[in-house]
Amino acid sequence: MTHAVLRWCRRWGALLALLALAASAAAEDDAGAIFLRGVDAYRSGDFEASSQAFESLVDSGIQNGRLFYNLGNAYLKQDRLGYAVLWYERALRLMPHDPDLRFNYEYALSLTRDERSKPAFPLARILFFWNFLLSPRQVQWIAVALNAAFWMVLIFRQALGFRRMKTLIFGLMMLAAVAGLTAAYNAYEAVWLREGVILADEAPVRSGLTEQATELFRLHAGAKVRIDQEKADHYRIRYSEEKIGWIQKADVGAI
């Protein structure tokens, strides 16, 4: 009985594995076909169809900087500035050094109506410059690599009885600690310090959650905000230290 079960498992297990691989390949083929359809629509000037094709890939769970970049381009061609900036922002988190993305992003920002808010702590950009030059994923890998190097050198020193590697070990320990703390902060920021982009051409920001609440100011498509709170169908957003209020969720895209 046991041998029969094993033979069945080997026979049908192999078949099931092949079917799973075939399904995965078919899914990849479908995704590739949709992507090419979006590219063809973009080249032919049907930018709405192009953005719809690319968004369907995002809805299927694909997270790719190049895909987000193409979505930004398709929305920019439709003059939907808020959506263009949103997808460029999302793409920048995955490929922050891409020159074409940077150029198109800056161009899109130049079309926005609201004056750009200044960073609250410009000194932080100087002291922690590496965190603004690298993506969060790159910081994570650097932290892992530095920690691995530290432990390897420490074990190597202990195994061979060397006594002249204290400076190297101390330096690796400090670098690993800095990279690890930076990665931890990025993880905290991704969860608790949310940012968004105004999608609507013009969106009122109010003192409360109802239409009767006082309108404090207005923001326009492409303005970048920080999301402080979330209640029902509203966000409490912060555009600057002076400009804080409630806005409808439909008017904001969370990055």
Do both 82 and 10 map to the same domain?
yes
Q: Among 83, 110, 137, give the residue marking a domain's end.
A: 110
> Position 100: which residue type?
D
Looking at residue 43, its amino acid is R
Q: Choose from 105-114, 117-126, 128-137, 147-156 the range with maximum mean pLDDT.
A: 105-114
9 pLDDT tier (thresholds 50, 70, 90): very low
> Looking at the structure, do residues 136 and 152 belong to the same domain, yes or no?
yes
213-237 confidence digits (pLDDT tens): 999 999 999 999 999 989 989 999 9
CATH number at residue 198: 2.30.30.40
Residues 245 and 217 in one domain: yes
pLDDT top residue among 29 and 162:
162
Into how many domains does the chain fold?
3
For residue 116, is it within any domain?
A: no
For residues 217 and 245, the answer to whether their CB atoms sit within 8 Å is yes
Predicted pLDDT of residue 14: 47
Q: Are residues 165 and 101 in the same domain?
A: no
Most confident of 2-6, 148-152, 153-157, 196-200: 196-200
CA distance 88 to 85: 5
Burial class (CB in 10 A: 0-12, 13-18, 19+), 214: exposed
Give residue-wise pLDDT tens across range 58-111: 999 999 999 999 999 999 999 999 999 999 999 998 898 899 999 999 999 999
Same domain for 127 and 223? no
Residues 98 and 131 occupy one common structural domain:
no
Residue ranges making up the domain that contains 250: 194-254
Contacts of 147 (CB under 8 A, 6+ apart): 176, 179, 180
In a domain, 117, yes or no: no
Q: Which amino acid is at 30?
A: D
Query: Does residue 30 belong to any structural domain of this protein?
Result: yes
User: Same domain for 81 and 17?
Assistant: yes
Give the contacts of 114 (CB within 8 A, at least 6 positions apart): 219, 220, 222, 223, 239
